Amino acid sequence: MINETALLESPTLRGSVLDRTDVLDKVKALSLLPDGMHVTTAMVASYFDVGLEAIKSLVKDHRTELEASGYRLLTGEELRSFKNLSGIQSRTRSLALFPRRAVLNIAMLLRDSEVARQVRVYLLDTEYLARTQPVENPAPMDAASLDARIDQRITHVLGTTVVPMFNALIETSSEHRRELIALRAGIQRIEKRLRQHHARLQRLESPRENRPFAGVMAAMDAMIGREFEEHVAELLRRDGCTDVIVQGGGRDRGIDITALTADGRRLVVQCKRFAPHLSITSPEVQKFLGAAKVLHDSEVALFVATCAFTRDALNIARESGITAVHRGLLEEWSGGTPLSALE
């Protein structure tokens, strides 16, 4: 497994993981310029909570490496062209631009930044899992998660390029003005929905104070279904449960794990490893309720998910005595906090 020291010291290792820029958004939202692709030196410094000089010093010491990852300094005609295309208003004679790969490269070089350290921890966790897990056919939820990660970039393009283009066409066209206005309205609705989608994903993934430890949810997001069930089973054993059995297969009758709590109560668990931007809905909780109470006559029922629950789903769980272990609660449980339902 690659360790943090090796990552800080080896340009070769850093270069081998530069494509994993998604880890930046796992730790903190990275604001982009209107072109949806680059950030400035000041924006990089703000992301890592360090001063401008810290970033400038890194660029000076590692310029060749950073240029290989996409860093460039615009001047002259190239700078004027970029300002015109992106709409940036600036009187500077030069402008340093960092694509996401270069920002990730900075994270692997910057020692005195807690944000950079969290990025490295998350990166190392995901890279280790990618290297050690068997190849699996990606589930539809993984594809949806990947789509969500580019929502912000698409929104930037729609808001700064496509909509202004329609504005210009509407101003100069009389024959098709009504159709153009309708098209613009449709694009603006899409832009709004993408912003809402991205904001929801950011709320689910944003760092919070006193998180048990960085990377725990990245590890679970990388698991396949059976591995996630085994992970939950280990948490149950850690908290004193006995006779823990992972059912698995197509004959589980709606239950993934059965066990006895430390004080002897019958326990059943449903495990759902969904993408973080999805939600457990009320029909799924109702289905589990029938299996837990009717088929298994359980005294304790846990619905464990790597995502959130809808309000209706939470209400049904609360009214029926099911413990909804949502993403935040799952992270705390995995980090060592006992689950109150098992006490």
- Angle at which helix 140-149 crosses helix 177-205, to 10 degrees, equals 110
pLDDT at 163: 60
Contact between 100 and 24 (Cβ < 8 Å): yes
Those residues whose C-beta lies under 8 Å from the C-beta of residue 88, and which sit 6 or more positions away, are 33, 34, 82, 95
Q: What 3-state DSSP class applies to 219? A: helix
Bridge partners, residue 242, by sequence: 260
pLDDT at 259 (0 to 100): 92
User: Which residues are CB-contacts of 270 (< 8 A; sequence separation ≥ 6)?
Assistant: 254, 255, 256, 288, 291, 292, 301, 302, 303, 304
Instruction: Output the pLDDT for position 156.
Output: 58
Helix (H, G, I), strand (E, B) or coil at 309: strand
How high is the pLDDT of residue 143? Answer: 42
* Class of CATH domain 218-342: alpha beta
What predicted TM-score, i.e. pTM, was given to this entire model? 0.43
Tens-level pLDDT at each residue, the chain (343 residues): 456 777 788 888 888 888 888 888 888 878 777 767 888 999 999 999 999 999 999 999 999 999 999 999 998 888 888 777 666 666 778 889 999 999 999 999 998 899 999 888 888 776 555 554 544 444 444 444 444 455 555 665 555 556 666 566 666 666 667 777 777 777 777 767 776 666 655 555 555 444 444 457 777 877 888 888 999 999 999 888 999 999 865 555 678 999 999 889 999 999 998 888 889 998 899 888 888 877 778 899 999 999 999 998 999 999 989 999 998 898 888 888 888 888 8
Provide the pLDDT for residue 3.
65
Residue 1: both structure tokens together? 């497994």
